Every structure is written in C-alpha cells, then in structure tokens.
Amino acid sequence: MAAASARDKPAARPAASLEPDAGAGGAAGAADRHGRRVRAIFSEIAGRYDLFNALASFGIYRRWLAAVARACACSPTDRVLDVAGGTGDVAFELCRACPPGSIELTDFTPAMLDVARERQAAGAARGVPVSYATVDAHDLPYEDGAFTLVTCAYGLRNFSRRTRAMAEAHRVLAPGGRYVVLEFATPPNPVWRALYRVYLNVAIPLIGGAVTGDRAGFAYLRDSIKRFPPQERIAQELREAGFAQVTYKNLTGGIVAVYTAVRGA
C-alpha cells in the first residue's frame, strides 16, 4: 500500500534509466556490474533481511535506528527522502519517533520495497504519508531542493560511486536541509576493532547463510563493511560534496557511525 497523496509528492524529474548499460566498458561498466550484483543479492535476501538484521546485531540495530531518529529530529514540516531505504527501517522509525510531513521511501531493489509496503500495510507508517519509488542513489529523479531531509542507512558502502550519491543528496536538499547517514565504521580502539573483525569474518556469513541460504551474498556484505573507509574520510567526502557542519557520532564503540551534514544556503 503506497499512501502518498499528490499534495505530499515532491517535484519529480523524468526518471533516469535504471537499466545498466550492458555495453559500457571501463569504470562505467564495472559500476553497472557492481549495481547488478548488489541488486541481485538484495532481491534474493529481501524477505529475510529484517530477521538477519535482528539476529546479527543481537537487536542492537534498534538502538542505532533510534540514534538516527534523534539526529534527524524531524517535524511535520519535513519532506524526507530515504535513499537505499530497503525494507523501511529508517522511514518507519522516523514515523514512530518524530513524524515528518511525508517520506519518499526509495531503493533500487523492488523486492526490498515490497517488504516495506507490507510493513506499511501492517501500520508501520502510523499515518505518515509514505510513497515508494524504485530509484538509483546515483541518479535521483527529483528536482533540486525538493527535500528538507535525506537519509541513507547502510547504503553508502553498497554504492559504486559513493561521492556521486553524496552530491545527488546535496542537490535534492533545500538550503539548510540535513543529510543523515548511518553506516558501518572503524572502531578506534584496536582491541575492539580486532574482536569486531573476528565477528565479521565468522558470524556474518554464518548467520546470513543460515537465515537466507545465501552465504555468498553475506560474504559480499562482510567484505563491503571491511573495505569501507574510516569515519574521517567519509566526513571529508561529505565536505567535498558541498556539505557544511559535517559531524559524526560513533555508536557501540565505532561499529557504526551516524553522520550529519547540512546543505548551506
């Protein structure tokens, strides 16, 4: 059930093609292949993604979501775009904790959005108008300045062109709009970091394989976490994308970090 009224819909640009350019070579070809692989993995695991999240994080992901909502601090005047929104965890947490005026919940994997629609049908949106769109984070089909808040949880590390996705988030934000990102991070304490690496190497493919049957997909997810740059580098990329007031907060000893950034006037 998609429940947005026309009044709540942000201005849209013609949608960019979501079809990969199969003939492209070089960097563009590699990006397309990466995108196809990522979409195939999330299509495969969509139905069990939420269960995996709960098990693999021992339920701590709920606290991380609450921290995202605190960083967003939405009000009914906010028009929110959730990029790589998946099954709707961030969107529905905002509906619960600080209801915005509207949410455009987007992802480039339709199967993930299907799960979100089921959750909305079960009441997760609590009356907040939530609309859905299959959208690639690298090419947002919205007018400049269409939103007051853009969120992105566990999306950045899956993007083939992370800085392009940041620039797109910046473009669709109105002046003064906020970009809130949740992503796996690098724990600063070496002992905690080493323990966490062991957990990643062993537990993620094991739990993911057991829950979804797709062990290879979870090996990819584990590797994407291990390859993701440390917090300072991401903060620097956000500044280079044009954002101001870039800050981040480590959670659970830096296993994840919540970044906040503001589009200047």
Q: According to the binding rule CB under 6 A, does residue 35 interact with ligand SAM?
A: yes
- Cβ–Cβ < 8 Å for 254, 187: yes
Among 86, 100, 205, 217, binds ligand SAM (CB under 6 A): 86
Q: According to the binding rule CB under 6 A, does residue 85 interact with ligand SAM?
A: yes
Q: According to the binding rule CB under 6 A, does residue 154 interact with ligand SAM?
A: yes
The pairs formed by 114-117 with CB atoms below 8 angstroms and a separation of 24 or more are 114/46, 115/46, 115/47, 115/49, 115/50, 115/86, 115/87, 115/88, 116/85, 116/86, 116/87, 116/88, 116/91, 116/92, 117/1, 117/2
Q: According to the binding rule CB under 6 A, does residue 32 interact with ligand SAM?
A: no
Which class for 48: exposed (0-12), middle (13-18), buried (19 or more C-beta within 10 A)? middle
> Shortest Cβ distance from residue 191 to ligand SAM (Å)?
27
In angstroms, rounded to a whole number, what is the distance separating the alpha carbons of residues 47 and 212?
Answer: 8
Q: Stretches 5-13, 21-29, 148-156, 195-203: which one binds ligand SAM (CB under 6 A)?
A: 148-156
| Residue tagged 């797109």 (tokens) | 168
Residue 135 or 262 with smaller CB distance to ligand SAM: 135
Compute how many residues bind ligand SAM; rule: CB under 6 A: 21
10: DSSP letter:
P
| Of 79, 101, 105, nearest in space to 92 by CA | 105
Residue 119 or 263 with smaller CB distance to ligand SAM: 119
- Cβ–Cβ < 8 Å for 188, 254: yes
Q: According to the binding rule CB under 6 A, does residue 42 interact with ligand SAM?
A: yes
**At 261, which helix (H) or strand (E)?**
strand 256-263
Grouping H, G, I as helix, E, B as strand and the rest as coil, residue 47 is helix
Q: According to the binding rule CB under 6 A, does residue 186 interact with ligand SAM?
A: no
> Shortest Cβ distance from residue 27 to ligand SAM (Å)?
15
Q: According to the binding rule CB under 6 A, does residue 179 interact with ligand SAM?
A: no
Interacting positions 107-136 with ligand SAM (CB under 6 A): 107-109, 112, 136
Q: According to the binding rule CB under 6 A, does residue 205 interact with ligand SAM?
A: no
Pull the structure tokens for residue 232: 């300072």
Residue 43 or 244 with smaller CB distance to ligand SAM: 43
Q: According to the binding rule CB under 6 A, does residue 84 interact with ligand SAM?
A: yes
Q: According to the binding rule CB under 6 A, does residue 155 interact with ligand SAM?
A: yes
Among 153, 211, 258, 261, binds ligand SAM (CB under 6 A): 153
Among 4, 31, 38, 67, binds ligand SAM (CB under 6 A): 38
**Helix-helix angle 190-212:215-227, to 10 degrees:** 160
**Distances from the Cα of 223 to the Cαs of 136, 166, 184, 217, 248, in angstroms?**
22, 22, 12, 10, 23
Q: What residue is closest to ligand SAM based on CB?
A: 86
> Shortest Cβ distance from residue 68 to ligand SAM (Å)?
9
Pull the structure tokens for residue 200: 């990643």
Residues that bind ligand SAM (CB under 6 A): 35, 38, 42, 84-87, 89-90, 107-109, 112, 136-138, 153-155, 158-159
